[in-house]
Structure 1
Amino acid sequence: MTEAEKLEFEIMEKAKQLAALRRAEPDSPVEDYSFRTAEGEIGLSGLFGDRSRLLVIHNMGQGCRYCTLWADGINGVLEHLEDAMAVVLVSKDPPEVQRRMALDRGWRFRLASHGGGTYMTQQCAMGDHPNMPGACIYERKDGKVIRRGRTFFGPGDLYSPVWHFLGLAGLEEADWTPQFHYWRRPESLDDGGANLLD
């Protein structure tokens, strides 16, 4: 077994330890933050629907290609996640912008906007970053909403397999940047290319 393979097994064991530590964290009650959706205003408690657990994906919005990469990946496993808990993607973008982005990407998430307000500054902030991409798990317990755990998203994390495949190929973060679309304009177009929007 190579050193790389040994380390990979060690990382898998560490991930199990991390999950156990998160399960042991004390309850952290949060306020019933307000969000905007295409259907109107809703509180954090309303995003649960009839579920007891809620996964809130923190997306920085249409201006972040990296956030789009994570959302694309999570969208691929959304049905599995929704079998276990309610799921919603939030960003500071207004609902109409979120909807356009979701349609463009083929996302099936429920969407809600925190508008860059209190939810963002209290739940999305980490370290020096006031709007860190990541995720929170909330639970309804004894009539309150509690935060069970949170994480951030970044190159090499546990939540986007793209970085691990790039690493397997010997590529580093500096070697590749995600894009919104990968279509490249050909040198000439059979239709003449008039009114082409890149």
Structure 2
Amino acid sequence: MDEIQQTERQITELIGKLNALRKKHCGKAVHNYLFSTLDGEVPMLDLFADHKRLLLIHNMGRGCRYCTLWADGFNGLLPHLESAMSVVLVSKDAPDVQRQFANSRGWRFRLASHGGGDYIREQSVVPGEGNTPGAVVYEREGDTIFRKNGCVFGPGDIYCAMWSLLGLAGLGEEDWTPQFSYGQSPQKLGDGDAGPAD
């Protein structure tokens, strides 16, 4: 077995160990936060729908090309994910802005806005960092919500297949950056605070 295969096997074993640790993690009780949707304010408990588990995808908003890359990938997995848990993409954008951008990307996610409020300040994937891309899984027991596990999204992580496929070709973050479209390069890149760069 060559060094590449050995390293792949080690990574697979480490991911198995990580998932076993996550399965045992009990989590911490959290508030029943309020979110804004096109249908009005919705408490977090309602986002669970008929599921015991809720995956909240933390998206920085329509101006972030990296968050868009991750969400584009998850969109293809959505029916599979929703067979196991409720899935909602959250961002600071207003619900109408979220829906317009989601429609432009062909996203089928349920959407909710935290508006930059208490939820994202207290439940960020990086404590104290606020609107950071990532995901958090919550579990409910009756009317009590527990934060089970969370992760941060970033170039090279295990949550976006693009990086592994680029790596297979010997390419990395320094060689490629995501764009909103590939017909032409934008004059400037979005940073998550504005709309897609022109």
* Both proteins in one fold, TM over 0.5: yes
Specify whether residues 127 and 46 from structure 1 end up closer, same or farther in structure 2 by C-alpha distance, changes over 3 A only. Answer: closer
Structure 2 residue aligned with 1:41 = 41
Distance in 2 (CA, whole Å) between partners of 1:27 and 1:163 is 30
**2:118 alignment partner in structure 1:** 118
Instruction: Name the aligned partner's letter for residue 29 of structure 1.
Output: A
1:180 aligns with 2:185: no
Contact 2:55 2:85 in 1 (8 A): yes
Equivalent pair of 2:22/2:149 in contact (CA under 8 Å): yes
Who is 1:59 aligned against? 59
Q: Hey, what does 1:8 align to over in structure 2?
A: 8
Indicate the SS of the match to 2:148: strand
Task: Write out per-residue CA displacement over residues 87-146 of structure 1, whole angstroms, 9 at most, x where no aligned residue.
Answer: 000000000110111011000000000001111111125156321111111111143011
- Name the amino acid aligned to 1:154: G
Per-residue displacement from partner, 1:40-99 (whole Å, max 9, x unpaired)?
A: 100111101121111110000011100000000000100000001110000000001101
Report the AA paired with residue 161 of structure 1.
A
Q: Percent identity?
A: 55
What corresponds to 2:135 in structure 1? 135
Q: Note closer, same or farther for the CA distance 1:129–1:27 as it changes in structure 2 (3 Å cut).
A: closer
Residue in structure 2 matched with residue 154 of structure 1 by the alignment:
154
Partner of 1:18: 18
Amino acid at match of 1:32: N
Instruction: Give the 3-state SS of the residue equivalent to 1:173 in structure 2.
Output: coil
| Contact 2:59/2:133 (8 A) holds in 1 | yes
Q: Which moved more, 1:117-126 or 1:8-17?
A: 117-126
The normalised TM-score by structure 2 is 0.90
Q: Structure 1: give runs of 5+ residues left out of the alignment.
A: 186-197
Q: Which runs of 4+ in 1 moved over 4 A?
A: none
Match of 1:150, SS state, is strand
Query: Does the 8 Å CA contact 2:61/2:67 hold for their aligned counterparts?
Result: yes
- Rounded to whole Å, the distance in 2 between the matches of 1:125 and 1:48 is 19
Deviation of the 1:5 alpha carbon: 1.4
